[in-house]
Amino acid sequence: MCNSNSNEQTALTAPDKKIVRALQEDFPLCEEPYKILAERAGIDEEKFLERVKDFLREKKIRKMGAVLQHRTAGFKSNALCVWNVPPEKLLEVAEIMSAHSAVSHCYDRNPAPNWNYNLYTMIHAKSREECDAIIAELSKLTGITNFQALYSKKEWKKTAMKYFDDEPSTNDE
Amino acid sequence: MELSSFDKSLLNLLQGSIPVCRRPFAELANRLGAEENFVLERVRRLKAAGYLRRIGTFFNSDNLGYRGTLVALEVQPSEICAVAEAINNYNEVTHNYEREGKFNLWFTLLTPTVEREGKILSEIRSLRGVEDMINLKSNQKFKINVQFKLQ
């Protein structure tokens, strides 16, 4: 839906890559944050603001804004719930699940051998019991009864991607 | 730190968007009927107190030419720590979670080319203790925007 695009659209020029690199660093909490970002990119502020607006229009940037800690809103439990949905019902089921406020992410994914799940939802709630109740509700709403709730045991990594990072990965020999 | 009703309004606005203009916090202040300096002070406090996971730019990786995937591994429990740490070393891995179930380690991978993705996955597949790996490509993202309305 929102990610069909051709490669022509995605080619970024060297100055655009500089803008992306500047934008992915900490957003300055001061009166003129874009001026500082523009300086980092070595571009005039006016031009920089125009390009940011272009990127928003072209959906290279999904949003300029903030994401809350889930805990802030009282969400202490999260489950990745995977569903086995008949392909012809996928869109309809995805729409019902996406409409639920406890669902933060909803993706389709290709099934794998011995893993027939094709719809993935992230569910947030105040407790595991509440998560389970929401999953039961989603199951009832959609009629999908073949699913698994995968609760997280440990967060090993959660970071923002560094795009066009010239530093080679540490795993590169 | 307790959230005031002003903080909640501010967080709800910030989750929606930061204006793209010379003085974005002045514009937010204007909408909230407050002073620019007061808004900046509150945002800094909220960030320092850990209420904001991230503030700034959220890219759509597909439209920057990157390809993303979710990978699940079945790892011997005794090796899970070493495998998780090896995976974390890749800059291309943004999320890595241990979960309950047969597939007990789940990570997301973003790469500029299919070759790079293949190379990383084959390196990870050959780590000691990795017994199975599934690469779960997505075709359609139905919902990706995480917003919580505070009241």
State which residues form the domain around B35: 5-48
Write out pLDDT tens, residues B61-110: 999 999 999 999 999 999 999 999 999 999 999 999 999 999 999 999 99
Q: B60 — contact with chain A (CB < 8 Å)? A: yes
3-class DSSP state of A62 = strand
Tell me if A104 and B143 make a contact (CB, 8 A cut-off): yes
Instruction: Find which of A5, A30, A169 to mutate to test the B interface (most B CBs within 10 Å of its CB).
Output: A169
**Is A116 found in the same domain as A88?**
yes
Residues of A within 8 A of B100 (CB-CB) are: 150-151, 153
Please count the other Cβ atoms lying within 10 Å of the Cβ belonging to residue B43: 23
Shortest distance, CA A60 to any CA of chain B (angstroms): 5
Write out pLDDT tens, residues A35-86: 999 999 999 999 999 999 999 999 999 999 999 887 666 778 889 999 999 9
- Does any domain span residue A161? no
**Is B34 found in the same domain as B90?**
no
Query: For B52-74, b where at least 16 C-beta lie within 10 A, e where not — what string?
Result: bbbbbbbbbbbbbbbebbbbbbe
Write out pLDDT tens, residues B124-145: 999 999 999 999 999 888 888 6
Number of domains within chain A: 2
H-run or E-run covering B129? none
Say if CB A3 and CB B67 are below 8 A apart: no
Least confidently predicted of A152-166, B26-40, B72-86: A152-166
Structure tokens at B86: 């090896």
CATH (domain of A125): 3.30.70.3460
**Closest chain B residue by Cα to residue A152:** B99
State which residues form the domain around A31: 13-57
How many angstroms separate the CA atoms of B81 and A105, rounded?
A: 27
Q: B108 — contact with chain A (CB < 8 Å)? A: no
Q: B31 — contact with chain A (CB < 8 Å)? A: no
Tell me what ipTM this predicted complex has. 0.88
Tell me if B140 and A65 make a contact (CB, 8 A cut-off): no
**Which bin fits A56, alpha (ψ -120 to 50), beta or left (φ > 0)?**
alpha
Nearest to B95 among A1, A58, A157 (CB): A157
**Is B95 found in the same domain as B35?**
no
The burial of A45, by beta-carbon neighbours within 10 Å (0-12 exposed, 13-18 middle, 19 or more buried), is given as middle
pLDDT band per the 50, 70, 90 thresholds, residue A4: very low
pTM above 0.95, yes or no: no
Shortest distance, CA B17 to any CA of chain A (angstroms): 4
